[in-house]
Amino acid sequence: MDEIKIREIRGAELDEACALFDQIWRFDPGAVGILGEVMRGYANHGHYAAGAFRNGTLVGASIGQFSAPGTGELLSYITGALPGSSHAGLRLKRHQREWAMERGVKRIVWTFDPLVSRNAHFNLVKLGAAVENYLVNYYGDMADAINRGDPSDRLMAVWDLEAAHVVEAAGNVPAVPSVRSEAEPFLTDRNGYPHRHVTDARTVLIQVPPDIEKLREENPEAAKEWRMAVRETMGRLLGKGAVVLGFHDKSSYVVRRD
């Protein structure tokens, strides 16, 4: 991890960050991607703009803005890193946490796709973030290669910067959920498709595909079934007051019903 250097970015480096985001998300021709003008406004007026550099080359970036006055909150607008960039994403988020705490921020929030298992593991296990609610088609139709043609359901991640388990995660102690003995499968994989189980268990496991982006390309029908199945299980449970305890074995959300 030592080869990656994290620092705030300004000026032309923000244009490099925009190009980097375009490279990662591959926006459709003519689509509005990440606007450089917006990023410059954030950076020049005290908001968060940082880059991850390897040997002087930008390999990751993160942009955030302060939320409403009095909330003590930062919205992490976007964070992305090129594949194989030596934990640049993790380094960026840890830098973001330290930067925010120096400015009195108590928590950072952002959204992520509940079907992307690696993001769930990163956010809930490596960072120790929690899930606040399930947002149905939050961004509407999205014009990029990763999300195109799929409803933009999202989970709201909440990072309590001073929580004990978050502090431990910052010291490389993963926030691993304790799967109670009564936990039972609620949604599992069966031959690439979601399979729902009938259970009265208070603590349940909701599995997601190992690689939803690949599945969208190879089997769009299955990908759509996963979207609806996770919405109708985890989305419904969270709407009734259930709590996501964490992410287990890089595959399943651990959810405790209310």
- Here the CATH number for the domain that contains residue 101 is 3.40.630.30
Asked if residue 152 is part of any domain, the answer here is: yes
194 & 98 share domain: no
Q: Say yes or no: 44 and 129 in one domain.
A: yes
Residues 201, 123, single domain; the answer is no
* Domain-embedded: residue 57: yes
Q: Are residues 116 and 242 in the same domain?
A: no
Whether 121 is covered by a domain: the verdict is yes
pLDDT (mean) for 253-257: 96
201 lies in the same domain as 98: no
Residue 70 gets the label, from left (phi > 0), alpha (psi -120 to 50) or beta, of left
- Tens of pLDDT, residues 213-251: 999 999 999 999 999 999 999 999 999 999 999 999 999
Looking at the structure, do residues 191 and 158 belong to the same domain, yes or no? no
Residue 39's domain comprises 4-170
The verdict on 162 and 241 lying in the same domain is no
- 165 and 193 in a single domain? The answer is no
Do 12 and 110 belong to one domain? yes
pLDDT tens digits, 59-107: 999 999 998 888 889 999 999 999 888 799 999 999 999 999 999 999 9
Domain boundary among 115, 142, 170: 170
Strands 57-66, 73-81: pairing kind: antiparallel
Task: Give yes or no: residues 137 and 20 share one domain.
Answer: yes
Q: Which pLDDT score, from 0 to 100, does residue 33 have?
A: 54
The amino acid that residue 80 corresponds to is: G
**pLDDT for residue 196:** 98
Q: Which band of pLDDT confidence, cut at 50, 70 and 90, is reported for residue 3?
A: confident
In angstroms, rounded to a whole number, what is the distance separating the alpha carbons of residues 117 and 124? 10
Residue finishing a domain among 148, 170, 192: 170
12 within some domain = yes
Q: Do 196 and 137 belong to one domain? A: no
Q: Do the domain assignments include residue 179? A: no
- 178 within some domain: no
Helix (H), strand (E), coil (C) string for the chain: CCCEEEEECCCHHHHHHHHHHHHHHCECCCCCCCCHHHHHHHHHCCCEEEEEEECCEEEEEEEEEECCCCCCEEEEEEEEECCCCCCHHHHHHHHHHHHHHHCCCCEEEEEECCCCHHHHHHHHHHCCCEEEEEECCCCCCCCECCCCCCCCCEEEEEEECCCHHHHHHHCCCCCCCCCCCCCEEEEEEECCEEEECCCCCCEEEEECCCCHHHHHHHCHHHHHHHHHHHHHHHHHHHHCCCEEEEEECCCEEEEECC
Q: Is residue 241 part of a domain?
A: yes
Do 16 and 102 sit in the same domain of this protein? yes
Final residue before a domain boundary, out of 141, 170, 199: 170
The predicted model scores a pTM of 0.92
Share of the chain above pLDDT 90, in %: 75
> What average pLDDT does range 129-142 have in this prediction?
94
Domain count, the chain: 2
What integer pLDDT is reported at residue 1 of this predicted model? Answer: 46
Residue 175 inside a domain? The answer is: no
Q: How does residue 34 score in pLDDT terms, banded at 50, 70 and 90?
A: low
